[in-house]
Amino acid sequence: MIKSPLSSDRIPFIWFWPHGKNCAFVITHDVETQKGLRNIERICEIERRYGFRSSWHFVPERYSVDSRLLERLVNDGFEVGIHGLKHDGRLFDSKKIFDGRMKKIKKYAIEWGAVGFRSPATHRNPDWMMNMPFEYDSSFPDTDPYEPQPGGCLSIFPFFMGNLVELPITLVQDHTLFEILEHEDISIWKQKIDWIEKMNGMALVIVHPDYIRSDGDRGMESGYPIEYYEELLQYVKNKSNYGCALPRDVAEWWRRRDTSKIRLDKNEEPCIEGPAARDGVTMWVRLANDEVIFDVEDRKVQGQVKSEI
């Protein structure tokens, strides 16, 4: 039996990420307009070049979504998700509207094989959302004063919200950074990524293909340079122990971690029992001077299964 933290100076802990990765990096895209559709292949090519894959969230009834595009994305290792129904700002006008639209959204999710959802404009009501027919949601920023519904969940880690795994948006959105705040570099992204890395959290970004300057566009009024996004990918690529994964894989790992437990073997070493055993990591955690200390040098990888995280 594991000793109570009240009777021991340390307790065993299942590390946040598989294989002892320091933190997670997750790329998501909300496709809001026809311009966004036209930019998809251009962005995917850059991601392939740097070895990344991302999720693409589409609005089913705002523009025509070609099933062949979705098939190409999935076959190439990308993910497809749902971004509301119409993107008209009315999803949360009433519970009746929400429930009615969610029935249609569920049909598109089944048709597209989508397991993830993001609300348009990150409008949200957790009481209504927690039973949505998805594996995960990603509509809650950790903190964001600039969204139509300001605020946030104050977490840089996934958490459970009813039946869903919530994947917080933890990097400032590109539209906010370049259009609202009019930044001309990605220093804010870099600073937040470095801090999240230090905290062992999850860096999840929304990049809208609609706001990236298309070939032939002129002036910042037509969008921000795609080189900003490429610089972001290069910056993360240079990190030594980042785990990069699709949001569905992060949600799946968080469920496996949550349903696993730790036991001590005959040598009093912690071992994971349950679905996280094949790639989970154990270590000891202790309290010192009111600070939580992870004994990283003692962490042990149990499994040999490769994980994208």
Residue after which a domain boundary falls, among 193, 214, 240: 240
Shared domain for 163 and 120, answered yes or no, is yes
| CATH number for the domain harbouring residue 183 | 3.20.20.370
Residues spanned by the domain of 82: 24-240
3-state secondary structure at position 242: strand
Nearest to 113 by CA among 95, 134, 141, 143: 134
Query: Are the C-beta atoms of 7 and 186 separated by less than 8 Å?
Result: no
Note the pLDDT of residue 7: 44
Beta bridge partners of 169: 141
37 shares a domain with 131:
yes
pLDDT tier at 294, thresholds 50, 70, 90: confident
Pairing verdict, β 55-58 and 79-82: parallel
> What type of residue sits at position 18?
P
Token representation of residue 307: 């994980």
Look up the pTM and report it: 0.91
Q: Please indicate, yes or no, whether residues 234 and 274 belong to a single structural domain of this protein.
A: no
| 225-283: pLDDT as tens digits | 999 999 999 999 999 889 999 999 999 999 999 999 999 888 888 999 999 999 999 98
Last residue of a domain, one of 221, 240, 259: 240
Count of the separate structural domains present in the chain: 2
CB–CB of 118/26 below 8 Å? no
- Does 214 lie in the same domain as 148? yes
